[in-house]
Amino acid sequence: MSSANITFGFSDEQKIMRDSVLSLLARELPVDRINELDKAGEFPLDAYAALADAGWMGLPFPEKYGGIGGSYKDLTVLTEALGYHDTGLAAGYLVTVIYAGMHVYLHGSEAMREEFLPQIISGAKKLALCLTEPDTGSDAAGIKTFARRDGDDYVINGQKIYNTGAHVADAVVLAARTDPDATGYTGMSLLLVDTDLPGVTIRPIDALGRHTIKANHCFFEDVRIPVSRVIGAENKGWHDLMECLNVERLCLAAAGTGNIQRIIEHTRDYAKQRIQFGQPISKFQAIAHKFADMETGWHTARQMSFHVANMLDAGENPVIETAIAKLHATDACWKAADLGMQIMAGAGFILDYSMQRLFRDARVGTIGGGTN
């Protein structure tokens, strides 16, 4: 990872963390294995377990639950490294630890935290977030999935779609209407639902990219859960969803930033070896211009990501800044992938090289996690 010399004031511990994570991933999930899993459409379970065994699932959680209690900057360092190595594994980490796990930590009851956080940290349980529905994407407040109160239980009916990693999740954080008379941003609750309950059906969706993590179509038919599985206050789920947006978008920006660097390195290695007109194509000015654009996108995305991390660590609420960082990083990542494909030309288009996978995986960044 050639960005090692640009550390934005990393502490010695953060440098060691980054190098340790990259070494672990190079050992547990080499590029050839990533390409194999991509073709097979399989999640890198062994690499995920290795991250858990090393303690990285617990980075943002307090020590009392078995975590590390790291800072937002620590989380950015880790997520950038994950995105650099493989965006599928990065997404698998984020959906469990951030998209779903942070809701349990920030808004769950103490009993829920004590039950689930240690299992998330150990890798024993994987989670996912179920928010988007067939008829509601950006208009998340328009969800129709309903949870009817029945004594000490809720009975859930509805559908969710494009739910990353739900097919390998042991439980999902589900957004549902719990007040039949409420509309818009009111009357929504977050529920923790085990995926092996009767009435839960999860169907992976064939998509252009991210074959190792997959989006899913989830069905809930008369699914019964106890009231104790409500995360936070009943009917206040929208506020809780919004509270987690800053860290979610920071992580998307950081993962996208790491992926840009991987794309640049992969493309540059090829350009230095590809000989045309008696010299490597990397020496042609037209190619250099493309690399300049890719590097500009990477450097600015990286600066934005660590700037936002520092703001969060300082106790600020950078809603605008996190949105900008996510937008810019994912846009720059897609542009870098497109330029990389153009530089590699026919070689980038065939399945023997990783470029086509990097190209496919980069496209969803501008759509997911809040469309650009």
Q: How does pLDDT run across 243-285, given as a tens digit for each residue?
A: 898 999 999 999 999 999 999 999 999 999 999 999 999 999 9
**What is the dihedral sign for C-alpha 119, 123, 129, 134?**
negative
Whether the CB-CB separation of 261 and 3 falls below 8 Å is answered with yes
pLDDT of residue 8: 82
Task: Say which residue the tokens 């206050």 belong to.
Answer: 233
Torsion of the alpha carbons at 230, 231, 235 and 241, rounded to the nearest 10: -150
| C-alpha to C-alpha distance for 267 and 291, rounded to whole angstroms | 9
Backbone angles phi, psi at 43, to 5 degrees: -75, 140
**How many Cα atoms occupy the beta-carbon half-sphere of 261 within 13 Å?**
21
| C-alpha to C-alpha distance for 359 and 216, rounded to whole angstroms | 21
Beta strand segments in 100-243, E: 127-130, 146-150, 153-161, 171-177, 188-194, 200-205, 215-226, 230-231
According to DSSP, the β-strands at 188-194 and 230-231 are antiparallel
According to DSSP, the β-strands at 215-226 and 153-161 are antiparallel
According to DSSP, the β-strands at 230-231 and 279-280 are unpaired
Whether the CB-CB separation of 82 and 89 falls below 8 Å is answered with yes
Of the candidates 66, 48, 64, 192, the residue with the CA atom closest to the CA atom of residue 118 = 66
| C-alpha to C-alpha distance for 11 and 32, rounded to whole angstroms | 32
pLDDT of residue 115: 97
pLDDT tens, the chain, 372 aa long = 554 457 788 999 999 999 999 999 999 999 999 999 999 999 999 999 999 999 999 999 999 999 999 999 999 999 999 999 999 999 999 999 999 999 999 999 999 999 999 999 999 999 999 999 999 888 888 899 999 999 999 999 999 999 999 999 999 999 999 998 888 889 999 999 999 999 999 999 999 999 999 999 999 999 999 999 999 999 999 999 988 989 999 999 999 999 999 999 999 999 999 999 999 999 999 999 999 999 999 999 999 999 999 999 999 999 999 999 999 999 999 999 999 999 999 999 999 889 999 999 999 999 998 899
| C-alpha to C-alpha distance for 52 and 257, rounded to whole angstroms | 23
Distances (CA, A) of 59 to 12, 64, 77, 86, 110: 16, 12, 11, 19, 19
Whether the CB-CB separation of 121 and 65 falls below 8 Å is answered with yes
| C-alpha to C-alpha distance for 371 and 359, rounded to whole angstroms | 18
End-to-end CA distance of the chain: 27
Q: What is the pLDDT of residues 193-227, one digit of tens each?
A: 999 999 999 999 999 999 999 999 999 999 999 99
pLDDT of residue 182: 87
pLDDT of residue 221: 99
How deeply is 371 buried, as exposed, middle or buried, from its count of CB atoms within 10 A (0-12, 13-18, 19+)? exposed
Fold of 244-366: Butyryl-CoA Dehydrogenase, subunit A; domain 3 (1.20.140)
pLDDT of residue 1: 54
The residues, ordered by sequence, that sit 6+ positions from 148 with a Cβ below 8 Å of its Cβ are 154, 155, 156, 157, 180
| C-alpha to C-alpha distance for 221 and 145, rounded to whole angstroms | 10
Of the candidates 317, 254, 313, the residue with the CA atom closest to the CA atom of residue 71 = 313
Tokens linked to 371? 């469309």
CATH 1.10.540.10 for the 2-126 domain, yes or no:
yes
Domain limits, the chain: 2-126, 129-235, 244-366
Fold of 129-235: Butyryl-CoA Dehydrogenase, subunit A; domain 2 (2.40.110)
- Looking at residue 342, the DSSP 8-state letter turns out to be H
